[in-house]
A and B are shown apart, each in its own frame.
Chain A
Amino acid sequence: MIRITCPVCGTRAETEFTYGGDATVSRPGEEETSMQPWLDYVFNRDNPRGWHREYWHHVQGCRQWVILERNTLNHEVGACTLARDAVEAEE
């Protein structure tokens, strides 16, 4: 059982969350017309062995999307932050 420390609710079991996939891909702007950025966003993944930055949805808790650092080799978990904070930081 992976235990995720939600920034809102505290430490909870993974069964309260839904996995949302790779958080390092970002959607190209609407004005983007070339194919490759869209292909990379929709289909292609780094798929790392080791630390992976990923979305989880705390669907049975606060319903916030969080970004979790997790090691895909041993399931060790690291920092967990609100996804909206990461987006605001980018903007």
Chain B
Amino acid sequence: MSRYSAASILRHALSGNTSWPRAWRDPEPQKAYDVIIVGGGGHGLATAYYLAREHGIRNIAVIEKGWLGGGNTGRNTTIVRSNYMMPGNTMFYERSMKLWENLSQDLNFNVMISQRGQYNLCHSPGQLDAARRRGNIMRANGIDAELIDRAEVKRRLPYLDYSENARFPIHGAIYQSRAGTARHDAVAWGFARAADRLGVDILQQREVTGFLREGSRIVGVQTSRGDVRGKKVGLCVAGHSGHLARMAGLRLPIETHSLQAFVSEPYKPMVDTVISFGAAHFYISQSDKGGLVMGGDLDMYNSYAHRGGLPMVEHTLASAKALMPCISRLKLLRHWAGAMDMSMDGSPFITRTPIYGLYLNGGWCYGGFKATPASGWCFAWTIAKDAPHPDNAEFTLDRFERGYQIDEKGVGPQPNAH
């Protein structure tokens, strides 16, 4: 398959764009694989890609029940950032940020990474102190962070509510200039094409319904279209990790919750960055097509429905209006929901499991998209070497038993509070 380049665009333009090759194959499964990845979203495809590229394992299948990137990869608000402060999280997300910065070149696919910066607003002196602490931890780890005061926030983001009537006055913000957005579909497609070029078989429309076992060991998966054998099976099915793990006999510290996102009608360029409200769970950016992309809080109750409730629609839009009164008359164009793996401490899992041959990547809560490249990179390492990389060493299942939860917000084992 040919590389994408300016020359290839020209060449295909001359032939009327009629001879573009498929971006990836649609193969029949082989009898047995070295590694089977369950889940053809960003994380699963990235895992397959890095297994093939970094570890020379080419005999890999990615098994997807629907179509590539049709789950949470296609449902998020496309924000990438690395402003984490708990040991175990900080350097993992920074690895991801660094991989994002070169991802389009790496994959020979434009993932439209746009490092437009991200502001976390602070609405009280206490919140600003907490942001200062977070910023210092980030900077001590070599990650960019900048604390800015109210006047500077007002200069840079003049369209927020700075009036006397603002329900939550803005005291300042912490800013990460390398953060930004990426095009989420392109991330799935880019990893799929790059993995396919390295020989990975991507098997779509094939739902995993159970596991093949020999003794206590897992040796493959049963699917809706026949069994596929594999020496190692990795789960990348966040949202449904608990469901798949239960088929294998594991009970996880995860609940599945529904998280909504929203896009407004297209509007002239206004929000040239990413803004997180500090007083409620709300974040906003603007897409290249002009739609304001907004995310809010969970619906708070367990759900696999891929459908949000109206109370949270109202809550999110009330937050939008409290932050930016100027958008109060914009109409919503679309809203949708995704099923989130909410873990008990708000942090993910990239780990071996107690079942031989089964590996778990899940528990991504709100934050899976930004983690995509490092998640694949670290999961590939863990599967290939049967041991974690230092960057994902803390993302184990037994951290609860050992008392080493990574609770970034400090709210305790309450999945809907993270």
Q: Which of A58-66, A72-80, A83-91 contacts B (4 or more CB under 8 A)?
A: A72-80
Contact of A19 among B253, B301, B307 (CB under 8 A): B301
B127 at the A/B interface (Cβ < 8 Å)? Answer: no
B183 at the A/B interface (Cβ < 8 Å)? Answer: no
Contact of A73 among B300, B304, B401 (CB under 8 A): B304
Contact of B416 among A15, A19, A43, A75 (CB under 8 A): A19
Query: How far apart sit A42 and B415, CA to CA, in the bound complex (Å)?
Result: 11
Given A1-B310, A73-B305, A75-B307, also A44-B251 (CB < 8 A): yes
B344 touches A47 (CB 8 A): no
Main secondary structure of the interface of B (DSSP, over half): mixed
| Identity of the chain B residue whose Cβ is nearest the Cβ of A42 in the assembled complex | B413
Instruction: Give chain B residues whose Cβ lies under 8 Å from the Cβ of A1.
Output: 309-311
Q: How many residues from B make CB contacts under 8 Å with A?
A: 27
Query: How far apart sit A74 and B240, CA to CA, in the bound complex (Å)?
Result: 15
| Identity of the chain B residue whose Cβ is nearest the Cβ of A46 in the assembled complex | B251
Q: How many residues from A make CB contacts under 8 Å with B?
A: 25
B254 at the A/B interface (Cβ < 8 Å)? Answer: yes
Contact of A72 among B304, B400, B413 (CB under 8 A): B304
B50 vs chain A, min Cβ distance (A): 28
Closest 7 CB pairs of A and B: A47-B242, A43-B253, A44-B251, A19-B301, A43-B400, A43-B344, A19-B300
**27 A-B residue pairs with CB within 8 Å:** A13-B311, A14-B311, A15-B311, A19-B300, A19-B301, A21-B255, A22-B255, A42-B413, A43-B253, A43-B344, A43-B400, A43-B413, A44-B253, A46-B246, A46-B251, A47-B243, A47-B246, A47-B252, A47-B255, A47-B302, A72-B256, A72-B302, A72-B304, A73-B304, A74-B305, A75-B303, A75-B307
